[in-house]
Amino acid sequence: MEWLDDALEYISGRIARRGELHGDGRRPLTFGDLKAKSVHFAAMTTCLSDGAPYSLPFRNKRFAFRRDALGRVLPKHVVKAMVDSGEPLSEGIWSLPAEEDTPVLFAVRLSLSFPLLFSAVPLVTRDFTRKDEPERQQPRDAWFSDGGLCANLPIHFFDALIPTRPTIALTLEPKLHRAERFVVGGANLHGVALRPMDTPGHFASALLDVMQEWRDELQCQLPGYRDRVTRIRLDKGEGGLNLDMREDQMEALMSIGHKAGEAVATQFDWEGHRWTRYLAAMDQVSRLLGTLEAREQDIGHLLSTASEMSTRKRSKRWVDIARVSTTELIELSKKWGLADNNQSVRFRFENRAPRPLASLRPSPSPMDVADAEPGAGLDPIEQDSTE
């Protein structure tokens, strides 16, 4: 990993030239260093042991590390910094550093664990599904692999319903029959080219890609997303598992990347993008309000029995406030879109919303998977009330 450490130090400007790193006593680049320069970095990793994606840096204390295990995949000075910043938990096991003290190389290595090319990385956690307390408290290995297994194009990082800044993505795909080496944003309207299925290899490759990337592909077709995605098309022998690429091939591919970046910088329509996101957001809000209005009686029943629920009980004060707030929201939904107080004509955002329509539904965020801890997120209204 020295080559990757060298690359990160060079990109961050901490060294003037590649290959200038010296000694094992230096302090590694951390998330705190990036934050001090107003750089917000995030990465994705996949825990094979619990089958869930996680964003990096970790935002809870669920995981710890074994010094000897990390020493096999990270440079000595990075492991030492993590030991110095963490707390010893038991023999050979330390807590992970706080977010600002987490080395960037640690996060990149957890994210960059492509199966067969890079070994998976073991961290340590506890299994609270075990029946006996001693079993629950026993440290167990949790193996982390490539973040692309769950999200190969995590464009949702740093995103918002109405964005204040653009999030741009570059993705790689086979060139196939198309002449263009890259296509910017809005030109993705025609969708994805059909792949050949001439050989068992083509079929197996398509199976793996669909399992891994179906969600990314659907998201990249949505208005407000497709215009932010630039597709760089690879010829045979480029990218992926082609580890023996010639230097001239690598330079040509980097040149295409530079041209794609310049095209994005000059062609991206920021105001048009925000307008599209507004239209899509209002369509989703409109449909959500319509659902609340249609379920008014059901919601009223739930609130009337909230203090008797077998789980997640709420105090009378909480219920009273929730009933008023919910009633106001439903009343708003009844007036939503009425044109000039004309009760027979309702303006509907979805009638002319950008297509394809998006679905507004509860979806777990990789940032929050398994992040809930006892006592977290307590409601101040509940804390101040009596049941």
Section 374-387 average pLDDT:
44
| CB 287 within 8 Å of CB 176 | no
pLDDT digit string (tens) for 261-312? 999 989 888 999 999 989 888 888 888 888 888 898 999 899 888 878 888 8
Locate 381 and state its tokens. Answer: 């209204």
Q: Give the residue with greater pLDDT, 81 vs 22.
A: 81
Q: Give the residue with greater pLDDT, 158 vs 232.
A: 232
pLDDT at 369 over 70: no
Which residues constitute the domain of residue 231? Answer: 169-268
**Claim to verify: residue 12 and residue 140 sit in the same structural domain:** yes
pLDDT digit string (tens) for 134-181? 888 889 999 999 988 888 888 877 778 888 888 888 888 887 776 788
C-alpha pair distances (Å), 232 with each of 174, 197, 248, 269: 8, 22, 18, 19
Domain finish residue from 206, 235, 268: 268
Q: Give the residue with greater pLDDT, 109 vs 284.
A: 109
- Whether residue 387 is contained in a domain is answered as no
**Claim to verify: residue 264 and residue 278 sit in the same structural domain:** no
Q: What whole-number distance in Å separates Cα of residue 350 and Cα of residue 347?
A: 9
Domain finish residue from 268, 287, 303: 268
**Claim to verify: residue 92 and residue 175 sit in the same structural domain:** no
**Claim to verify: residue 117 and residue 234 sit in the same structural domain:** no
Report pTM.
0.79
Beta strands in the chain (DSSP E): 43-47, 52-56, 64-66, 88-90, 93-95, 121-125, 140-146, 169-174, 182-183, 229-234
Q: Which pLDDT belongs to residue 183? A: 85
**Claim to verify: residue 52 and residue 6 sit in the same structural domain:** yes
pLDDT at 341 over 90: no
Q: What whole-number distance in Å separates Cα of residue 355 and Cα of residue 155?
A: 19
Q: What whole-number distance in Å separates Cα of residue 273 and Cα of residue 262?
A: 18
Q: What whole-number distance in Å separates Cα of residue 168 and Cα of residue 339?
A: 37
**Claim to verify: residue 143 and residue 187 sit in the same structural domain:** no
Question: For residue 51, which amino acid is it?
Answer: G
- Cα 46–Cα 50–Cα 54 angle in degrees, nearest 5: 35
Q: Which pLDDT belongs to residue 386? A: 39
**Claim to verify: residue 17 and residue 124 sit in the same structural domain:** yes
**Total domains in the fold of the chain:** 3
Q: What whole-number distance in Å separates Cα of residue 82 and Cα of residue 70?
A: 10
Kindly indicate the confidence band of residue 80, based on its pLDDT and cuts at 50, 70 and 90: very high
pLDDT at 259 over 90: yes
